[in-house]
Each structure stands twice: as C-alpha cells, then as structure tokens.
Structure 1
Amino acid sequence: MQSPSKHELRKRYRERRINLSADEFQVLNSRLMEQIHRLDMTRFSTVHLFLPIEGNREPDTYAIAEWLRRAHPDIRLILSRTDPVASEMLHFIWDDTTVLKHNHWGIPEPENGIAVSSLEIDAAFVPLLAFDVRGNRVGYGKGFYDRFLAECRPETVKMGLSLFEAEPVISDINAFDIPLDCCITPQQIWEFNTAP
C-alpha cells in the first residue's frame, strides 16, 4: 500500500481535528500538557511559540506559555509575525506589553515588540497537521516554518506539537523540509535522530 502524501495527510488530519468534540479536545490538550511538563527546559533561554488558530483545533499553546512563565520565568518567549509578501517570519519578544492582532489566516501575531533574530532562538514549538516516525512533518503547506527553521542555528531544538500519533511514513518529503528533533503528543514524547 502506498504511503500517504502531504496533501492527503493535510486533508485527513484537518478533518480529524475539526471532528473532535469539545470534551475530546480538552482531554487531549490536558494530556499534551502532562507530556510537556516532562520536558527539560532548563537548557533554553529563548523559546519560540506559535499561537493557535481559533476553530482549527490546534494545541493550546497559551497553556504552554502560562506554564513556561510560571516554571521558567527566565525564558524569553518569542512570537512571530508573517510577512506574506516576502514569505518570511519576523520574530518578537512576547511580554506584557505585546499587542496581538489576528492576521488574515486567523493567527494571533505581535503588532509590536523587540525584534529577535532567528539565530537567538534555542528551541521552537512547531505547528503541524501530521508527522511520521522519522520526524518529518506536514504543515499547512505555505512553507513559512521550513524557511524559518532553516534560518535557525543547527542546534536549535525543533519540537512538534500534535494531538495525534505518528504516521509510519510521509511519501513526498523533499530537501526543503526541515525534520523535527522531537514531537510531543498526548501519549508520549517522540525523539528523532535527525543527524544525516
């Protein structure tokens, strides 16, 4: 049987997420947070987060931010603003003075703040729709995160967040796809050997 393509997985996992009941979604997010509490964040000083798109049933990263601020107050949290014309992401410190505004995809983004280079980021939580056992991910198909992660230092830890478990393989991975170092799900933390 042929392995599914990114396009097929994108469609399948969008539907799976949208079809979750409110109770199922809440339980999955609670279990995801239990796994996140197991992460060793003490080695990081600058951590990139994404904020969920309302209605898309993405993991609750506001809860992650709240935990990080409480348990690791010295960590700088970073959010990005997309520049659709240049097809790039600009990064800013997320603090009490940050004003958030929804972009045309419905993603809450910082309108202001202190700019940060991607080279300063020690770890990044990465959105996805699906991932496989090798650490390859399926995003929304715009390529913003692959371009952003390619700009980061090689040792920047790339951490996927998924409400579902891994696929065996994604059939159409290409040279521009940046693999994850780990992926956190409600059941476990997947660790990947991404060395060539």
Structure 2
Amino acid sequence: MIKTKQKLRERFLEKRKLLLSDWVKRNSEKINRRLLSFPEIFGRRNFSVYLPINNEVDTKTLIDALLRKRVNIVVPSYSKESRNYFWAKFLGWNNLEKGPFKILQPAKIFPVDSLQIEVAIIPGLCFSKTGTRLGYGKGVFDRLLKKTNAFKIGLAYDFQIVDNLPKEIHDLAMDAIITEKRVIRS
C-alpha cells in the first residue's frame, strides 16, 4: 500500500507542477466561490485554512472573503522546538514568514486549540469520490484534525478526483470535496 500511495503522490504532484499560473488562479477562484456558497459553512465562526504551496488550490481570496465576514481563521504553523505542527491564529498577510518546506505561517504566533475549529479547509494531492484524501505522506493534517469534529472540506482541481484510494486507519476522511466543476459529499 505504501508503494501505491507513493506512486500516486508522485503522479499527482507532477501533474500539479505542470499547471500554468493563470489556470491555477482562474480555477482556484471558481473553487473558492463554490465554497463560499456552500450551505455547510453558513453561520460558522471558526475556520482552519491552509496556505498553499506547489500549485495547490489558492486560498487567498477565500481567506480575504472570510476575514470580511469577521470569522476566526487558523492556519498550520510549525514549532522548531517541539518539531510539531499546531494551529495558529491568522492575523493577516503582513504577519507571515516562511516556515519549513517554504510554507507560509504566522510570524507572531497565537496557538489555537483544534477543538475550536468548526470548518476545516484541507489540501490534498488527490481525493477519492468517497472522501479519502492523499496528502504528502507526513500526516500533518491527520494529526492536526484528529481531535476535532470540524466539517472537513477538501479543495482540489477536478483532475485530482479518483474513484478509489488506498486508505489506512489514520487517514483523515473528508465530509465534502469541492472542485471547479462539482461538489462531492462523502
């Protein structure tokens, strides 16, 4: 199963690397609009959102729209001391610095308990139609969201949706996946 997952990671990471920036921007905006009209987020006040790398669905316009609604946003942040990821309050675009793997994270850190998260916006290399997610293989989001009952939404381009994926006991399941073409409820 490990070899199968690694082959899938390589294949979908390569596909994403080939995407043109205009295509990423246009389709990310479609996905963000679809997400902002998604009934399951209405009235929710506490969101976790990722800051994208490697042509992931861009969440900047999503974050800006959520900030205008005055909701609380947390993003993954890495502690060099504990060598673990945790949730930190998003304080704005001017409070970011590059962390490990060149992923932006808050420079000034205010940790937030994962139990406060109501809606989790999650990236992936690919997703199955039944909600299984394949990430980079480090288990970051699996660990960060293990203790929460947040509604989990995967953001992906439609080419990242597959019929089936190998699933292990620790793999995080999505409640919904949103692409530029459709919403998949799992």
State the partner residue of 2:58.
60
**Equivalent in the alignment of 2:174:** 180
**TM-score w.r.t. length of structure 2:** 0.89
Aligned length: 182
Q: Which of these residues, 118, 121, 127, is aligned with residue 125 of structure 1?
A: 121
Output the amino acid matched with 2:43.
R
- Secondary structure of 1:105's aligned partner: helix
Q: How does 1:67-78 map to 2 (within 5 A)?
A: 67-70=65-68, 72-73=69-70, 75-78=71-74
- The letter for the 2-side match of 1:145 is F
Report whether the alignment pairs 1:113 with 2:112. Answer: no
- Tell me the amino acid that sits aligned with residue 117 of structure 1: D
| 3-state SS in 1 of match to 2:30 | helix
Amino acid at match of 1:50: Y
Give a deviation string over 1:98-144, Cα, whole Å, max 9, x none. Answer: 62111120100112233210111111111111000110001011111
Q: TM-score, normalised by structure 1?
A: 0.85
- Displacement, 1:9? 1.6
Report the Cα offset of residue 15 of structure 1.
1.1
Choose from 146, 161, 168 the match for 2:163.
168
Q: What do residues 52-81 of structure 1 show as CA deviations (whole Å, max 9, x unaligned)?
A: 12xx111111111011122x22x1011121
Gaps of 5+ in 2: none
Deviation, structure 1 residue 36:
1.6
Give secondary structure in 2 for the equivalent of 1:6.
helix
State whether residues 88 and 148 of structure 1, in contact with CA within 8 Å, keep that contact through their aligned partners in structure 2: no
Larger deviation: 94-103 or 41-50? Answer: 94-103
Higher relative contact order, structure no. (Cα contacts within 8 Å, ≥ 6 residues apart): 1
Compared with structure 1, are the counterparts of its residues 34 and 42 closer, same or farther at alpha carbon in structure 2 (3 Å cutoff)?
Answer: closer
Structure 2: distance between partners of 1:178 and 1:19: 27
* Greater helix proportion: 2
Matched-pair identity in %: 25
